Copies of this chain bind each other. A is one copy, B any other.
Amino acid sequence: MLSPGLSDEQAVPFDDRGLAYGDGLFETVLLRDGGPVLWRYHTSRLAKGCRRLNIPLPSQAALDATWQGDPTAELEVLKLILTRGSGGRGYAQPDQVTPRLVSRRTPFQPSAERWQQGVTVRLCDLRLGHQPRLAGIKHLNRLENVLARQEWSDATIAEGVLADTHGLVVEATSMNVFWQQAGQVLTPLLDQCGVAGTLRAALIEQGAVAQSSLPLQQLGAVERLWVANSVQGVWPVTSLLAANGSLIQRWPLSKLDSFQRLAHQLLGVA
């Protein structure tokens, strides 16, 4: 087998609309012993994205083929990109749309240290714009996340928290945000912007998390704070910094983090 990085099938042509316009979707999936974790949630989000963008959803067999095959490690990350396929110059889609599905598997090791010791996160200066037509889905237009991630290079800062133009907390650059208030775990509504993560979806479906709104300036006052996604798992936040680096709040590590435990059960963490 060719190394994935050298396979011609992985490249996309110049006229691919995913390249030209970010006209497509992606998923990043944890593979445990070669099997996809929360796969139903990933395919469900992909299907929702396809409906929103009006891209034909590939068959389940085609989607399953992206992870089938012998694993190269106990844990891998599968990244799949689905684009509207090739198209002419101009935004109008071709009469005949043939979506292009490309994917890659990479060995992966999550940070158990971050699970156990917690992380420092900072607030980002960038504000996410509102676009309800694109909110929640994992589309390929991610320049806001790229720009937000450029705001810091200090490796001791694990993530950056993003608010929208109304000053409401939305997400972290590549994770969802969860907080505890009055004993309840909450996560932002993502109807105007942000990516609705699959771990978040599973936790909401289980009734463990409810959707709510939180102004950015109240983030330091929550009882507990986490950032999480389906690949990295749950990182308890122990320090919150302002964009200028000043400390906003510290939280002690909890001996019994039932939120993390439940989420990690969903991810198959032993």
Which residues does A use to contact B, with CB under 8 Å? Answer: 4-5, 10-23, 26, 28, 53-54, 77, 79, 81, 83-84, 89-93, 102, 104, 106, 126, 129-131, 133-134, 139-150, 165, 173-174, 193
Copies of this chain, whole number: 2
Find chain B residues with CB under 8 A from A21 CB.
22, 140-143, 145-146
A268 to chain B, nearest CB (A): 20
In the complex, the chain B residue whose C-beta lies closest to that of A54 is: B150
- Name A11's contact: one of B11, B130, B147 (CB within 8 Å): B11
- Name A22's contact: one of B22, B77, B106, B148 (CB within 8 Å): B22
- Asked if residues B14 and A102 are in contact (CB atoms below 8 Å), the reply is yes
- Name A146's contact: one of B91, B144, B146 (CB within 8 Å): B91
Find chain B residues with CB under 8 A from A5 CB.
13-15
Find chain B residues with CB under 8 A from A130 CB.
129-130, 165
A94 to chain B, nearest CB (A): 12
In the complex, what distance in Å separates the CA atom of A121 from the CA atom of B141? Answer: 27
A41 to chain B, nearest CB (A): 19
- Asked if residues B102 and A22 are in contact (CB atoms below 8 Å), the reply is no
A150 to chain B, nearest CB (A): 6
A90 to chain B, nearest CB (A): 6
In the complex, what distance in Å separates the CA atom of A98 from the CA atom of B165? Answer: 32
